[in-house]
Amino acid sequence: MFRSASLATGGMICDSSRPRYTAPMLKLNPTQYNATICSKLTRPGSTTSCPAVSGSSTSHRTSSAAMVSSDKGLVDQRAQGLQFVVESSRFDEKSLDKASYPTVQAFVEDNAMHKAREVASRLGRQADIIIAADTVIHLPSGQIMEKPVDAADATAMMRSHSGASHQVTSGVALGVRGPDDHYEFSTFHETATVTFAKLSEDEIAAYVATGDGMDKAGGYGIQSTAAVLIESIQGDYYTIVGLPVHQLSHRLANVVSTRSDV
């Protein structure tokens, strides 16, 4: 019933020129949203470089943040100045009883939490911050949209999108490692609304023929060809592609500014 397009990866970027406790800039390419970024949050006065995540904890006043996703097609973004390693969660979301959750939002937050905890149990001291995300597409009625099973199913999905709106909710679990090496977890979610233009049968057939939406929940990807079919969005664009960057950046900044051990 519930479809999750969860995000898992690890990596770091540091910028010693940032003002005190400024939220880290997450460079997300709309066409590569699942290339997850592990940011290095550098404290004032640090002149350290940005090494890849290693098996040992950092000895300087920085924090390594690992982001968790199940995406297998992560794109190497070192050309964008990012250094990262990929860490996929081994948590099986099929083990969750989706029907037992009162809302879509409750499910995505809990699923993200399970993924984050699983990665934390293996990473140990390798990351100070772990971020896991899970995304679902759903109708106002609460019905979840899965991936299309074939072209006919994809066509039916696109017809249902035509001239209509649906919602996309991304849940995030944020784990911060404390002095005792245990992680403290919190969760949040963001919901955005996507409205498609009225589509002709020719437009629907042409899009389905590209195959672009066959591996995506809801039968389309806003970060690719389907962008030309979408009339408007309400909310954070990056919530739709899988990571609510605005709220996440504020929460990360709060962690850095309030925790002397991070």
228: Cβ contacts below 8 Å, ≥ 6 apart: none
The neighbour count for residue 157, using CB atoms within 10 Å, is: 23
Question: Residue 243 contacts by C-beta under 8 Å, 6 or more apart in sequence?
Answer: 7, 26, 28, 33, 36, 133, 170, 172
Determine the Cα–Cα distance for residues 67 and 174; give it in Å rounded to an integer: 9
What are the structure tokens assigned to 199, written together? 């589509």
**Residue tagged active-site, from 134, 181, 202, 212:** 134
Question: What is the Cα–Cα distance from 11 to 204, expressed in whole angstroms?
Answer: 39
Q: Classify strands 129-138 and 62-69 as parallel, antiparallel or unpaired.
A: parallel
Give the number of other CB atoms < 10 A from CB of residue 102.
7
Residue 212 bears catalytic tag? no
CA end-to-end distance (rounded Å), the chain: 39
Residue positions counted in the chain:
262
User: What is the Cα–Cα distance from 172 to 136, expressed in whole angstroms?
Assistant: 12
3-state helix, strand, coil in the chain (%, to 5): 30, 25, 45
Dihedral angle computed from the Cα positions of residues 185, 188, 189 and 190, in that order, rounded to the nearest 10 degrees: -130
Which residues are tagged catalytic?
134
